[in-house]
Amino acid sequence: MVKSAFIGGALAFSLLSTSALAANLHPETGEKLADEQVFTYRILDEHSSLDPQIVEDVTGSELMRDLFEGLYNQDNDGNLEPGVATHHDLSEDKTVYTFHLRPEARWSDGKPVTAHDFVFAWQRAADPKTASPYAWFVELMSLKNAKKIVAGDMSPSDLGVKALDDHRFEVTLSAPLPYFPLMTTHATTFPSPQWAIEAHGDAWTKPENMVSNGAYVLAEHVPSERSVRVRNANYWNNEETIIEKVVTLVINDENAALTRYLAGELDRTEIPSGQYPSYKKSHPEEAVSFPRLCSYYYWFNHSDSGPEAFNDKRVRQALSFALDRNVITDRIMQGGQFPAYTFTPAVTAGFEVPEVPFGQMSQKERDAKAKDLLAEAGYGAENPLEFTIVYNTSEGHKKIAIAASQMWKQKLGAKVTLENLEWKTFLTRKRAQQFDVSRNGWCGDYNEASTFLDLMHSQSSYNDGKYVNEEVDKLLSEAKTAENPQANYTRIEEIIADEMPIIPIYHYTNVYMLRANLKNWPINNAEQNWYSRNLYKTAE
Amino acid sequence: MLFYIIRRLAIALPTLTLLIVFSFLLMHMAPGGPFTAERELPPQVLANIEAKYGLDQPIYMQMLEYIYGLVAHFDFGPSFQYKDRAVNEIIATGFPVTLTYGTLSFIVAVLLGGLLGITAAIHRNSWLDYFAVGLSIGAQVLPNFVMGPILVLIFVLWLNLLPGGGWNGGQWQNLVLPVIALSTSYMASITRLTRSSMLEVLHSDFIRTARAKGLPKRVIIFKHALKPALLPLFSYLGPIFVSMITGSVVIDYYFSTGGIGIAFVNSALNRDYAVMMGVTILMGGLTILFNLLVDLAYAWIDPKIRY
């Protein structure tokens, strides 16, 4: 039964593709399309899982967006566009969402996608038995009873989700959350096929067992080497898909990947730090750099285990002022990164970068001010400031730490020791506040300033520096339910620029080699939530 | 002989058990755990995951359960990092890859190295000797992490003859570069080892006697000198064969072959306890097995050795 449905779908698909191929022009732009629509790209590591409720890494989520489809998708600019849901209604008290699902949505085995599939998936994500590392996302979405279910105090069936009928999915939140719909593009919220999971258990994600509802189905998976996905003939919008096949290759070494790109084996790969300018020159149409929703910064340890000197605001300010961000972005990273004077990147949706005073000064002025501040705090040639920077093993982090320590030594006479730690040791030390200054990077979970600024909340589990400021806590709590929280975010950034709990260093960019004939890459999507079904290749 | 084999296998069991116990303890002593991540998990979420994988148990219970699963079901447990995969599966996909390119590299290294070594010894101080020694030194000073990029530069970027990496089900095109990169330094060692031991044998009394008897050179070398000259080589071949078939981190990393070599290193970095244990046991077991085989081969080569 399942098989015959699939063959039927495959036939319909081949008919469609023949008619499209006959014209071989892009239906909207009229560009001549390449005969072979295969997109091959490199990933750094094997993805953690192919189960939408369990996957936790970026590359795994990329595969999920091709294989599954949630309530909403993102367009090329990161705005919501209909997915399985066409629209939603919101209750007066802003806690009950009713999503209307399109009746034509189908699973790859031909079954209709219903509200029950979403209920199953969301309950599954919260269920302690699933033991999903992303169970916290369900809590973050403020779903009713999520916290208690994850803690095992309530049954997953008590989660605030309900299928009103096959095509109406009702979600109840514990409190209003203005950006809730944005979160429905995340893999954790994608529907999952109960029948396939019950039939195959953990093995349901194998290509031969997997049932999915996205534009593609998994055709092949060789762990740690490659995975291949091909078009899903049953996808409701299959007609508009152009890329026929997507190949993901695991290539650990970024230089090896770049070589293979140059040899024509890949359509997309990352450019290692420092090499962007030379590729921009040699391959101007292929080397691209565009903003990414991530921030690179140093934490000060504010807790009792940190150096006493860091309790003095002037010391923190002096160190932040004396750090010449332009040297780091223009001389070390060289990938178009942006010097950071605020924690939240400018690319964040709705976020206006406040003009913080120290960002307006010239580096010369900042250096002079830094010297004064440190002297005022009582540190100088006789009593030099001493501390250690810890960072995890990586050429890039090392170069930045060396540059920072040199700047602090030359400008402020500080004695800085560098300590390189293996990843897990680094994380363990950071969590336990066993550091003076630590290297950090943070990428937004969703495109809204709170995904960054929440880290500054005294109770945040990511507040590794143990920074406590009651005003910040209050502003963050208010922002959760505020109609327009932007004023709060601006105020928090001003506090950060003054109190300097962290040293913002730079805001990331994506630095890629992208085949010139691979079109429609969403460079304006700050979260880089791309979908293979939106891409296409033109004839060269 | 049979008794000897049984005795050796009997010793292997406690050796493997000790290996398991020590690796298990060392692994758990390393800071952090499999679920320590940049995004710190809320305590309740972490507790649920640890309960699923039995990490909430005391360590001796974890170890006993692990050994029980291993002995009773030959089950290496689930991977903590790759959540929809078992360690048995990871070994089953990764090991054939390294076994293939490792065995090929081994054959290339032994044949070429042996041949060069013997030639060099027979034609000592001739241009053939200098060539063989020169080549082996050249191969030795170029480690595979330098060799890999150079090979890729020549064969992939300049000549455009071969793919720059990947496995592709073990197509010959994907095998050429990893095999060259992996075999060269081993070949160099084998050349020098064979050359020096061959020289030593050629200067021994029984060869002089054979010469005095007027035996043809070919017979002297292949019938009389070769076997004893290979003896020191044999004790070297066992361990290198194991290290070659269990994969090279550099080869897996640079050529993206997806073998077990990189899995070992990644599992250590990820604290993927089960994968790390699985690969350690695999490597340990193979080492014990091949050492035994080498010892048995001694008896065949050298009639003076009897078990």
Evaluate whether A168 touches A96 at the Cβ level (below 8 Å): no
Cβ within 8 Å, pair A222-B94: no
Which member of A223, A424, A427 has the closest CB to residue B93? A223
Q: Which residues of A touch B255 (CB under 8 A)?
A: 256
- Domains belonging to chain A, first-starting first, are 2-245+515-537 (3.90.76.10), 291-509 (3.10.105.10)
Evaluate whether B232 touches B199 at the Cβ level (below 8 Å): no
The alpha-carbon gap from B160 to the nearest alpha carbon of chain A, in Å, equals 7
DSSP string, A262-305: HTTS-SEEEPPTT-HHHHHHH-TTTEEEEEEEEEEEEEE--STT
The alpha-carbon gap from A538 to the nearest alpha carbon of chain B, in Å, equals 24
Q: What share of chain A is helix, strand, coil (3-state, %, to 5)?
A: 35, 20, 40
Cβ within 8 Å, pair B93-A50: no
Give the best residue of A154, A250, A252 to mutate against chain B (max B CB count within 10 A).
A252
| Residue A203 neighbours by CB under 8 Å, 6+ apart | A209, B84
pLDDT exceeds 50 at position A17 = no
| Residue B112 neighbours by CB under 8 Å, 6+ apart | B183, B187, B191
Which member of B78, B83, B164 has the closest CB to residue A263? B164
Instruction: Give ipTM to 2 decimals.
Output: 0.85
| Single pTM value for the model | 0.87
Cβ within 8 Å, pair B82-A46: yes
Give the best residue of A48, A153, A394 to mutate against chain B (max B CB count within 10 A).
A48
With an 8 Å Cβ cutoff, is B107 touching chain A? no
Which member of A128, A225, A425 has the closest CB to residue B166? A225
Average pLDDT over residues A90-115: 96
Helix B260-270 × helix A423-431 angle, to 10°? 10
Which member of B32, B83, B255 has the closest CB to residue A428? B32
Average pLDDT over residues A485-491: 92
Q: Which residues of A touch B36 (CB under 8 A)?
A: 424, 427-428, 431
The 10s digit of each residue's pLDDT in A204-245 is 999 999 999 999 999 999 988 999 999 999 999 999 999 999
Distance from C-alpha of A282 to C-alpha of A275, rounded to nearest angstrom: 11
Extract the tokens encoding A34.
């390449």
Cβ within 8 Å, pair B269-A260: no
With an 8 Å Cβ cutoff, is A319 touching chain B? no
Cβ within 8 Å, pair A424-B269: yes
With an 8 Å Cβ cutoff, is B159 touching chain A? no
Average pLDDT over residues A385-394: 94
pLDDT exceeds 60 at position A3 = no
| Residue B6 neighbours by CB under 8 Å, 6+ apart | none
**For residue A354, what is the DSSP state?**
P
Place of tokens 């105090």: A153
Q: How many CB atoms lie within 10 A of CB A8?
A: 13
Ranges under pLDDT 50 in chain B: none
The alpha-carbon gap from A353 to the nearest alpha carbon of chain B, in Å, equals 25
CA distances from A304 to A311, A466, A503 (A): 9, 9, 19
With an 8 Å Cβ cutoff, is A141 touching chain B? no
Distance from C-alpha of A532 to C-alpha of A231, rounded to nearest angstrom: 10
Distance from C-alpha of A444 to C-alpha of A490, rounded to nearest angstrom: 17
Indicate the Cα dihedral angle B3, B9, B10, B16, nearest 10°. Answer: 170
Average pLDDT over residues A472-497: 91
The alpha-carbon gap from B86 to the nearest alpha carbon of chain A, in Å, equals 10
Cβ within 8 Å, pair B84-A252: no
**For residue A331, what is the DSSP state?**
I
> How big is chain B, counted in residues?
307
The alpha-carbon gap from B84 to the nearest alpha carbon of chain A, in Å, equals 6
User: Which residue stretches of A141-251 are H helix?
Assistant: 146-150, 194-200
DSSP string, chain B: -HHHHHHHHHHHHHHHHHHHHHHHHHHHHSSS-TT--SSPPPHHHHHHHHHHTTTTS-HHHHHHHHHHHHHHH----B-SSSTT-BHHHHHHHHHHHHHHHHHHHHHHHHHHHHHHHHHHHHTTTSHHHHHHHHHHHHHHHS-HHHHHHHHIIIIIIIS--S-SS--TTT-HHHHHHHHHHHHHHHHHHHHHHHHHHHHHHHTSHHHHHHHHTT--HHHIIIIIIHHHHHHHHHHHHHHHHHHHHT--HHHHHHH----HHHHHHHHHHHT-HHHHHHHHHHHHHHHHHHHHHHHHHHHHH-TT---
Distance from C-alpha of A140 to C-alpha of A126, rounded to nearest angstrom: 11
The 10s digit of each residue's pLDDT in B275-298 is 999 999 998 999 888 888 888 887
**For residue A113, what is the DSSP state?**
P
The 10s digit of each residue's pLDDT in A21-59 is 456 888 888 899 999 999 999 998 888 899 999 998 889
Distance from C-alpha of B157 to C-alpha of A263, rounded to nearest angstrom: 6
Task: Write the Ramachandran bin of B93: left for phi over 0, alpha for psi from -120 to 50, otherwise beta.
Answer: alpha
Which member of B52, B90, B156 has the closest CB to residue A259? B156
Cβ within 8 Å, pair B48-A260: no
With an 8 Å Cβ cutoff, is A250 touching chain B? yes
The 10s digit of each residue's pLDDT in A497-509 is 999 999 999 999 9
The 10s digit of each residue's pLDDT in A164-190 is 999 999 999 999 888 899 899 999 999
The 10s digit of each residue's pLDDT in A424-467 is 899 999 989 999 999 999 998 888 899 999 999 998 888 999 99
Task: Write the Ramachandran bin of A256: left for phi over 0, alpha for psi from -120 to 50, otherwise beta.
Answer: alpha
Q: Out of A55-59, A280-284, A480-484, B290-294, pick the least confident.
A: A480-484
**For residue A32, what is the DSSP state?**
B
Three-state secondary-structure class, residue A15: helix
Which member of B37, B157, B257 has the closest CB to residue A263? B157
Q: What is the pLDDT of residue A23?
A: 60
Q: How many CB atoms lie within 10 A of CB B260?
A: 29
Give the best residue of B27, B46, B83, B276 to mutate against chain A (max A CB count within 10 A).
B83
Q: Which residues of B touch A51 (CB under 8 A)?
A: 83-84
Q: Which residues of A touch B40 (CB under 8 A)?
A: 431, 461-462
The alpha-carbon gap from A168 to the nearest alpha carbon of chain B, in Å, equals 30
Q: Which residues of A touch B78 (CB under 8 A)?
A: 202
Average pLDDT over residues A485-512: 95
Cβ within 8 Å, pair A251-B41: no
Which member of A136, A202, A253 has the closest CB to residue B84? A202
pLDDT exceeds 70 at position A394 = yes
Cβ within 8 Å, pair A260-B42: no
Which residues of B, range 239-298, sit inside 8 Å of A by Cβ? 252-258, 262-263, 266, 269-271
The 10s digit of each residue's pLDDT in A301-359 is 999 999 999 999 999 999 999 999 999 999 999 999 999 999 999 999 889 889 999 99
The alpha-carbon gap from A104 to the nearest alpha carbon of chain B, in Å, equals 30
Indicate the Cα dihedral angle A122, A459, A343, A336, nearest 10°. Answer: -50
**CA closest to B51 among chain A residues:** A131
Distance from C-alpha of A531 to C-alpha of A20, rounded to nearest angstrom: 20
Task: Write the Ramachandran bin of A457: left for phi over 0, alpha for psi from -120 to 50, otherwise beta.
Answer: beta
> How big is chain A, counted in residues?
540
Number of helices and strands (H, E) in chain A? 17, 19
Q: Which residues of B touch A283 (CB under 8 A)?
A: none
Q: What is the pLDDT of residue B82?
A: 87
Distance from C-alpha of A451 to C-alpha of B171, rounded to nearest angstrom: 46
Extract the tokens encoding A232.
């899903």
Extract the tokens encoding A391.
């960072």
Q: What is the pLDDT of residue A446?
A: 83
Strand partners, A221: A227
Which residues of B, range 37-56, sit inside 8 Å of A by Cβ? 37-42, 44-45, 48-49, 51-53
**Secondary element (H or E) of residue A451:** helix A450-453
